[in-house]
């Protein structure tokens, strides 16, 4: 394997999902729903296939989807963007992240990450030759240490990678935190790459896109996808929204990474994004119930559960159960209890920082969540 990927192992999600199957454990690890996406979106995909929309799509997206993304972004943020010049459709948000890094970062540029962070960020930055600087968000609040951020920014800082609502903690960056990030970026001429794939799963406060803050649109790449919002994580449809001078870089990388994304799924994605507001309200309502079952169950089982405002994840402190670290705890949980969680140490530059914390997901049907909770209450 190439040197730039040497330190990265099989992704923790793949590892844990394989163990779930091997041990017949209930999988509250990898974040994918065990229920299906909406019928009207599936029907639109079948229709597109039957209508012969099966050859390469336009590289940066089928016009209808670029338009639907712009329309949705306007509803969500109030910003009007040009679907032709400022929206790029990608194969999931993971490709949007890769295309953004590879298209806009030079080797040696510094990029700031907030730890714990989603595992693809560091690996992709490594492929781009970036220098990674980590700032740790600490429990219980996972608040942004503003002074640390200030002193981490140097003349070599090219970008800050933001993720709100935040995987794995469920933290949502507050208006105050975003204001500080924005003013530091403007002052120091730094870009923001903002992964907002959990924006529709915001339970305790309203989601804020940093691109909508004064002076920020011109320096922000906002990324999102279909997977979480429509329970279709296997479709891998994502997009990046950015002003033309940044979109150019994203599109250049995208053109030579994947060239284009699945055509019929893009037509269906456009239909999905035009869902009535009631769809999004219903989704949130369903997830609130699921979250309640999991959080209450984890507390009753004896965990300290940290507050999560968004995403379909919660972080707990596993130390009441006496295992030496997060990986040991997850192994114990799979083998002795029959439940899978995700150890968080892989989401830190310094794994020590995650050793007390594990992540559970509640993107499962209620019976599955109840069964998992029951096992933990009985066997932990």
Check residue 31 for interaction with ligand GLN (CB under 6 A): yes
Cβ at position 217, least distance to ligand GLN in Å: 26
Cβ at position 11, least distance to ligand GLN in Å: 5
Check residue 167 for interaction with ligand GLN (CB under 6 A): yes
Check residue 332 for interaction with ligand GLN (CB under 6 A): no
For residues 319-331, one letter each, b for 16 or more C-beta atoms within 10 angstroms of the residue's C-beta and e for the rest, the string is beeebebbbebbe
How many Cα atoms occupy the beta-carbon half-sphere of 77 within 13 Å? 21
Cβ at position 137, least distance to ligand GLN in Å: 16
The answer to whether the CB of 80 falls within 8 A of the CB of 74 is yes
Task: Write the CB contacts of 217 (distance below 8 Å, at least 6 apart in sequence).
Answer: 79, 211, 243
Cβ at position 229, least distance to ligand GLN in Å: 13
Query: Nearer to ligand GLN by C-beta: 158 or 166?
Result: 166
Query: Nearer to ligand GLN by C-beta: 123 or 146?
Result: 123
Query: Nearer to ligand GLN by C-beta: 81 or 232?
Result: 232
- Quickly count: other Cβ atoms within 10 Å of residue 105's Cβ: 24
Check residue 225 for interaction with ligand GLN (CB under 6 A): no
Residue 296 CA to residue 289 CA, distance in Å, equals 11
Residue 178 φ/ψ, nearest 5 degrees? -65, -35
3-state secondary structure of 269: helix
Check residue 238 for interaction with ligand GLN (CB under 6 A): no
Any idea what the Cα angle at residue 1 is, between residues 119 and 261, rounded to 5°? 55
Check residue 374 for interaction with ligand GLN (CB under 6 A): no
In this chain, which of 26, 27, 28, 30 binds ligand GLN, going by CB under 6 A? 30
- How many chain residues interact with ligand GLN (CB under 6 A)? 5
Query: Nearer to ligand GLN by C-beta: 167 or 266?
Result: 167
Residue 72 CA to residue 377 CA, distance in Å, equals 42
Structure tokens at 167: 């995987």
Check residue 345 for interaction with ligand GLN (CB under 6 A): no
Check residue 165 for interaction with ligand GLN (CB under 6 A): no
Cβ at position 119, least distance to ligand GLN in Å: 7
Check residue 11 for interaction with ligand GLN (CB under 6 A): yes
- Residue 276: left if φ>0, alpha if ψ -120 to 50, beta else—which one? beta
Query: Nearer to ligand GLN by C-beta: 120 or 220?
Result: 120
- Judged by the rule CB under 6 A, the positions of this chain that interact with ligand GLN are 11, 13, 30-31, 167
């Amino acid at each position: 394997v190439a040197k730039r990927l040497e330190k990265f192992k099989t992704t923790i999600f793949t590892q844990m999902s394989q163990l779930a199957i091997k041990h017949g454990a209930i999988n509250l690890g990898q974040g994918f729903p065990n229920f299906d996406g909406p019928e009207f979106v599936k029907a639109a995909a079948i229709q597109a296939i039957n209508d012969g929309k099966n050859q390469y799509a336009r590289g940066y997206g089928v016009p209808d989807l670029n338009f639907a993304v712009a329309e949705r972004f306007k509803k969500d943020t109030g910003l009007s963007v040009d679907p032709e010049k400022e929206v790029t459709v990608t194969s999931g948000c993971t490709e949007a992240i890769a295309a953004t890094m590879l298209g806009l970062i030079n080797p040696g540029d510094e990029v700031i990450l907030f730890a714990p962070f989603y595992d693809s960020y560091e690996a992709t930055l490594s492929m781009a030759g970036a220098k990674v600087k980590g700032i740790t968000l600490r429990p219980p609040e996972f608040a942004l240490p503003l002074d640390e951020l200030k002193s981490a920014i140097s003349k070599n800082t090219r970008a800050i990678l933001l993720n709100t609502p935040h995987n794995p903690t469920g933290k949502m960056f507050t208006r105050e935190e975003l204001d500080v990030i924005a003013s530091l970026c403007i002052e120091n001429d730094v870009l923001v790459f903002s992964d907002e794939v959990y924006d529709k799963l915001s339970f305790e406060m309203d989601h804020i896109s940093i691109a909508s803050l004064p002076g920020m649109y011109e320096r922000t790449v906002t990324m999102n996808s279909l997977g979480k919002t429509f329970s279709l994580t296997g479709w891998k449809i994502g997009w990046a929204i950015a002003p033309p001078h940044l979109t150019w870089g994203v599109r250049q990388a995208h053109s030579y990474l994947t060239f284009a994304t699945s055509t019929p799924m893009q037509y269906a994605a456009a239909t999905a994004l035009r869902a009535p507001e009631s769809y999004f309200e219903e989704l949130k309502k369903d997830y609130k119930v699921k979250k309640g079952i999991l959080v209450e169950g984890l507390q009753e089982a004896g965990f300290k559960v940290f507050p999560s405002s968004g995403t379909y994840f919660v972080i707990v402190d596993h130390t009441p159960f006496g295992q030496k670290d997060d990986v040991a705890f997850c192994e114990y949980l799979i083998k002795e209890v029959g439940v899978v969680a995700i150890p968080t140490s892989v989401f830190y530059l310094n794994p020590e920082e995650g050793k007390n914390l594990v992540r559970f997901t509640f993107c499962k049907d209620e019976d599955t969540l109840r069964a998992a909770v029951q096992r933990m209450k009985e066997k932990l």
